[in-house]
C-alpha cells in the first residue's frame, strides 16, 4: 500500500512554517553556506516539472549543510519586472502589478508544496519599491562614476511592442514575445560602461568554480583581441580617414579592399551619388537582421560598393570601400581591412564580387591556389616589402613600429564586448532616477533622500509610437519644480528586467536594511554565494551583468567581494518525448498534478534519480511510479498498516552496521559533489540489504532516515515522529526536535573497509562461479574455496589441471585439459 502523502505532506509543511524552522539567523560565529537558485520570473502559467530540478538540488544541499551545523542561507524571491506583465496590462488595461503578484502567489504556493526549506522571511521582489530603491541607488553610483551615460546607438526596435529589446529577446529577426518584426535603428539610450571592466571580467574567471564551458562562453563574448589600430586615408577626403582594428597587422600588404558596417557614420559622407540608392536599400535590408543573423558564418555574403576608395598605408595602393552586414559597429571600429588571401570570410566576399586577392603569408610550398581558397595557417611573410622573410610574430612587431613612426597606427587591445544598453521605453520597470532640462540634457541624478522614484498611475500602458515610454504622457509626474521655480524633467525611460537581477543576491543578506544595500559585515560573512544553480541560457547576460555590478559595488566599498558566485552549476533540461518542455509545445507537466498523484517527495526523489544533475533527461511516468514504490516500501519497513513502529532496540549486526556506514559515506560524498542520483541508488541498496537481514534495529534505521531526509523530507519527518522520537512530544512543542534539524551522521572509517571480497573463478578463461575470500587471501586459500564451488568442481572433473593463475582480490583462473 502506498504511503499517504496527501495527509502527511501538508501536515509537515504546516509544522515547518508555524515553527519557522528554516529561518536563517545571522550567527556570524558559525560556518556559513549560501545556496541560491536563479530566482524565477513569476508567469501566469506557473511551474512545470522542469523548474524544480535545480530547486530540489539546492534544497537537498541546504538541508544537508544545515544538519552539518552550518548557518545556511537559502532564500527565494521574484524577478518581477517583465514584458509579459506589461503586455497583459496593454491588452487588458489592468495594472501589471496585479498579474505579477497573483502569479507570484501561485508560484510560492507551488514551491511550498514541494517542501523546499526556503527562508521566506527574506523574500524579495524586484518590483517592490523597498527593493528597487537600492537598484536606483546603484544606478546613481554608476552615473557618478561615469559608468552610466546616454548615447545614440543602434538598438533592436520592435514597432509592434513599441520598445527596445535585448539581443536575447530577438529570435530570427522577430520578438521573442509575439513574433513581431524587429529592426536595428539608432536611438538615444542609457548605456552602462561594462567595457571598462572587460579585463577584470576575464581575469577573475580564473578564481571561480564554474563549468569551463561557461567560462569560455564569457571569454568569447568579452572577446579580448591584441593587435593594432591602423589608419587608412580616404581618396579625395583630406581630413577624414578610416580607422580599423586588426589582429593581423602583418598582413597589411595583402589588404585589397575595405568593408564598413552599414551603420558606420562615414557611409553617408563617402558614398558616391550614383551608389546612394543601392546603399540606402541595403541598409534598410540590414536593419531587419539581428546581430546573430549578421554574424552567421555559413550565410551567403552580401554587400554594396560605396563608390569611394581608401589608400593602403604601406603599399599606397588604391583599394575600394564596401559596406556589408558581416561587419558590425559593435566590434572594433565598425570597419575592417579585408585580406582575402588569409581570411575565409573575406575570401568568400572577394570571390563573389571579383576583388583582388594577394597572398602575403606562405607555408613555403607552392601547391596552394590562393584564388581558390584562403591560407589561414602559420608561415613566412611574402610579397610585403620590408617584412619579407619574417615569421608572423616578428612581422607584427615590425609593422606596428613602422605604423607608429609614421603616425598611421599603434598597438592596441580591443574587446568584442559592447556597453550595456540600459533603456526600455515601457512602463513596468524601475524608473531611471535622472533629472533633465527642457532640452533633454541631463542635469543630475536623484539624491538618496529622493529615492525611491516610484511609478505613477497611467491611463494607458502602451508606449508612444515615436519610441517614448507611456510615462512621458504623465506631465504631473515628469515635471518637477525646483526651489527657484524652474522646471526639471524626470527621465521617462525605465530600466531593463536585468537591473534588479544583477544584485538581488546581495539583498537577501540584509533584506530590511533601509539605509544601505546591505550591512557590510553581513556581506563579509555571507558572500560570495557558495552554490548557484540555474540554466546555461544565462551564461552571458545575467551572469555577466551580475559580475559587473558586484565589481562596481566592490570598488565603491558597498560590497566586500569581487565576484558574486563562487560555484556555479547548470542543471540539465527535462524533456518530454525528446523535446524541451514548454507551454507552446503542449508537453509541459504541472507539478501540482504529480504531487496530487504521487506526492512531493516522490517528485523530488525522482527528479534527482533521473540522472546526473547537469545532463538532459527524459521524463518517464513509469520510473516516477517506481520511485513512489521505493518510498512506500521505506514506510512499510518502519511502520505497520496501523501506523505502529516496527523498530526495536536490538543490537545491530555487523553486516547491517557495515552497509549503513558505507551508505553514510557514499551519500555524504555524493551530496557534496551534487551526485544525487548515485546517492539515491546507494540508499536503495541499503534498504535491500537490511530487508534481507530483516534488521529492525532503531540504532541503524534512525540514521538511515537522517540521510534520506534531505531528499524526502516529509516522509522522513513522519517516520521520525512515529518511530524515533522517544517521548511523544508534539511537533507543536518547543521541545520537539525535527529530523530536518538533527545532526548529520558520521561514518566510522573502520566499518567502510571490506574485510572480505568476492572474486570470479574461471576455467580456461570462462566464468564458472564466484567465491568470497578474506581480503588479500593467498592462492592456497583461494584454490581451496574454489574447489568447494559445485560448478567449478563439476567443470574440472576428469580434466588435468595444467596451470593456476591467481591475482589477489581480482581473479582466479584454472587452465585445464582433457
DSSP-assigned letters across all residues of 529-575: BSEEEE-GGGTTHHHHHHHHHHHHHHHTTS-S-S-SBSBEEEPPPEE
Read off φ and ψ for residue 362, nearest 5 degrees: -130, 145
Question: 400 and 249 in contact (C-beta within 8 Å)?
Answer: yes
Which cell numbers in the block locate residue 413? 587591445
781: burial class by Cβ within 10 Å (0-12, 13-18, 19+)?
A: middle
Cα–Cα dist 143/444, whole Å: 9
Q: Rounded distance, CA 696 to CA 564, Å? A: 47
Q: How far is the CA of 624 from the CAs of 51, 594, 609, 677, 718, in angstroms? A: 16, 9, 9, 13, 21
Tell me how far the alpha carbon of residue 510 is from its chain's centroid. Answer: 24
How long a stretch of residues is the chain?
818
Residue 729: CB partners within 8 Å, gap ≥ 6? 735, 736
Question: Rounded to 5 degrees, what are φ and ψ at 36?
Answer: -135, 135
Is 406 one of the annotated binding-site residues? Answer: no
Which residues, listed in sequence order, are joined to residue 645 by a DSSP beta bridge? 639
Closest CA to 595 of 1, 150, 201, 10: 10
Q: Is the distance from CB of 264 to CB of 335 less than 8 angstroms?
A: yes
CA angle 229-235-239, nearest 5°?
Answer: 65
For residues 361 and 358, give the distance between their C-alpha atoms in angstroms, rounded to a whole number.
9
Classify 74 as helix, strand or coil. coil
Nearest Cα neighbor of 305 from 345, 264, 259 is: 259
Q: Which residues fall within 8 angstroms of residue 740, CB to CB, at 6 or more apart?
A: 16, 21, 22, 63, 66, 67, 117, 709, 713, 717
Distance of alpha carbon 691 from alpha carbon 689, whole angstroms? 5
Binding residues for ATP: 583
Binding residues: 583
Amino acid at each position: 500500500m502506498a504511503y499517504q502523502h496527501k495527509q502527511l505532506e501538508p501536515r509537515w509543511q504546516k509544522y515547518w512554517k508555524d515553527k519557522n524552522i528554516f529561518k536563517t539567523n545571522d550567527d556570524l560565529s558559525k560556518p556559513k553556506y549560501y545556496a541560491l537558485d536563479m530566482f524565477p520570473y513569476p508567469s501566469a502559467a506557473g511551474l512545470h516539472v522542469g523548474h524544480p530540478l535545480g530547486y530540489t538540488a539546492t534544497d537537498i544541499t541546504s538541508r544537508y549543510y544545515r544538519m552539518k551545523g552550518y548557518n545556511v542561507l537559502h532564500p527565494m524571491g521574484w524577478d518581477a519586472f517583465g514584458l509579459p506583465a506589461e503586455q497583459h496590462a496593454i491588452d487588458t488595461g489592468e495594472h501589471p502589478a496585479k498579474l505579477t503578484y497573483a502569479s507570484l502567489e501561485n508560484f510560492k504556493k507551488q514551491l511550498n508544496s514541494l517542501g523546499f526549506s526556503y527562508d521566506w522571511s527574506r523574500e524579495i521582489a524586484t518590483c517592490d519599491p523597498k527593493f528597487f530603491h537600492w537598484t536606483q541607488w546603484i544606478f546613481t553610483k554608476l552615473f557618478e562614476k561615469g559608468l552610466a551615460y546616454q548615447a545614440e546607438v543602434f538598438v533592436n526596435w520592435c514597432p509592434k511592442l513599441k520598445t527596445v529589446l535585448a539581443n536575447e529577446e530577438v529570435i530570427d529577426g522577430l520578438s521573442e514575445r509575439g513574433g513581431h518584426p524587429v529592426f536595428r535603428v539608432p536611438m538615444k539610450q542609457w548605456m552602462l560602461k561594462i567595457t571598462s571592466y572587460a579585463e577584470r571580467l576575464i581575469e577573475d574567471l580564473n578564481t571561480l568554480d564554474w563549468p569551463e564551458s561557461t567560462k569560455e562562453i564569457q571569454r568569447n563574448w568579452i572577446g579580448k583581441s591584441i593587435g593594432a589600430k591602423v589608419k587608412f586615408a580616404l581618396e579625395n577626403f583630406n581630413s577624414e580617414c578610416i580607422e580599423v582594428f586588426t589582429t593581423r597587422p602583418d598582413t597589411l600588404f595583402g589588404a585589397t579592399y575595405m568593408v564598413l558596417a552599414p551603420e558606420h557614420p562615414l557611409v553617408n559622407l563617402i558614398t558616391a551619388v550614383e551608389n546612394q540608392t543601392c546603399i540606402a536599400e541595403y541598409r534598410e535590408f540590414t536593419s531587419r537582421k539581428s546581430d546573430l543573423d549578421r554574424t552567421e558564418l555559413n550565410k551567403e555574403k552580401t554587400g554594396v560598393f560605396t563608390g569611394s576608395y581608401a589608400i593602403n598605408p604601406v603599399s599606397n595602393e588604391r583599394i575600394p570601400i564596401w559596406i556589408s552586414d558581416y561587419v558590425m559597429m559593435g566590434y572594433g571600429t565598425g570597419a575592417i581591412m579585408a585580406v582575402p588571401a588569409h581570411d575565409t570570410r573575406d575570401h568568400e566576399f572577394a570571390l563573389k564580387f571579383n576583388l583582388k586577392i594577394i597572398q602575403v603569408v606562405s607555408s613555403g610550398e607552392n601547391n596552394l591556389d590562393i584564388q581558390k581558397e584562403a591560407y589561414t595557417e602559420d608561415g613566412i611573410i611574402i610579397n610585403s616589402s620590408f617584412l619579407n622573410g619574417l615569421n608572423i610574430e616578428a612581422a607584427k612587431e615590425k609593422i606596428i613600429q613602422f605604423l607608429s613612426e609614421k603616425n598611421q597606427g599603434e598597438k592596441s587591445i580591443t574587446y568584442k564586448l559592447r556597453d550595456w544598453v540600459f533603456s526600455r521605453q515601457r512602463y513596468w520597470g524601475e524608473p531611471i532616477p535622472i533629472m533633465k532640462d527642457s532640452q533633454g540634457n541631463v542635469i543630475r541624478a536623484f539624491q538618496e533622500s529622493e529615492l525611491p522614484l516610484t511609478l505613477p498611475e497611467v491611463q494607458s500602458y502602451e508606449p508612444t509610437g515615436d519610441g517614448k515610454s507611456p510615462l512621458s504622457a504623465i506631465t504631473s509626474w515628469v515635471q518637477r519644480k525646483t526651489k527657484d521655480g524652474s522646471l526639471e524633467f524626470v527621465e521617462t525611460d525605465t530600466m531593463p528586467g536585468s537591473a534588479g537581477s544583477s544584485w538581488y543576491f546581495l539583498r537577501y543578506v540584509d533584506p530590511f536594511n533601509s539605509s544601505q544595500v546591505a550591512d557590510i559585515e553581513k556581506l563579509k560573512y555571507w558572500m560570495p554565494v557558495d552554490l548557484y544553480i540555474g540554466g546555461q541560457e544565462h551564461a552571458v547576460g545575467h551572469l555577466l551583468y551580475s559580475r559587473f555590478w558586484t565589481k562596481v559595488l566592490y570598488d565603491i566599498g558597498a560590497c566586500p567581494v569581487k565576484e558574486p558566485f563562487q560555484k556555479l552549476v547548470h542543471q540539465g533540461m527535462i524533456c518530454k518525448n525528446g523535446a524541451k518542455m514548454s507551454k507552446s509545445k503542449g508537453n509541459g507537466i504541472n507539478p501540482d498534478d504529480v504531487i496530487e498523484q504521487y506526492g512531493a517527495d516522490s517528485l523530488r526523489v525522482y527528479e534527482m534519480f533521473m540522472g546526473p544533475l547537469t545532463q538532459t533527461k527524459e521524463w518517464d511516468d513509469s520510473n516516477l511510479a517506481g520511485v513512489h514504490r521505493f518510498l512506500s516500501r521505506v514506510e512499510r519497513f518502519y511502520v505497520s498498516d496501523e501506523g505502529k513502529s516496527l523498530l526495536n532496540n536490538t543490537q545491530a549486526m555487523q553486516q547491517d552496521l557495515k552497509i549503513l556506514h558505507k551508505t553514510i559515506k557514499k551519500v555524504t560524498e555524493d551530496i557534496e559533489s551534487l551526485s544525487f542520483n548515485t546517492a539515491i541508488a546507494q540508499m536503495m541498496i541499503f534498504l535491500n540489504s537490511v530487508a534481507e537481514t530483516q534488521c529492525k534495529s532503531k540504532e541503524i534505521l534512525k540514521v538511515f532516515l537522517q540521510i534520506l531526509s534531505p531528499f524526502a523530507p516529509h516522509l522522513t519527518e513522519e517516520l521520525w515522529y512515529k518511530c524515533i522520537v522517544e517521548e511523544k512530544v508534539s511537533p507543536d512543542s518547543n521541545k520537539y526536535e525535527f529530523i530536518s534539524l538533527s545532526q548529520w551522521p558520521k561514518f566510522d572509517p573502520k566499518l567502510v573497509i571490506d574485510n572480505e571480497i568476492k572474486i570470479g573463478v574461471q576455467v580456461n578463461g570462462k566464468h564458472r562461479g564466484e567465491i568470497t575470500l578474506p581480503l588479500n587471501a593467498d592462492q592456497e586459500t583461494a584454490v581451496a574455496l574454489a574447489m568447494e564451488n559445485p560448478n567449478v568442481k563439476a567443470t574440472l572433473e576428469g580434466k588435468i589441471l595444467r596451470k593456476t593463475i591467481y591475482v589477489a582480490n581480482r581473479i582466479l583462473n584454472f587452465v585445464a585439459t582433457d
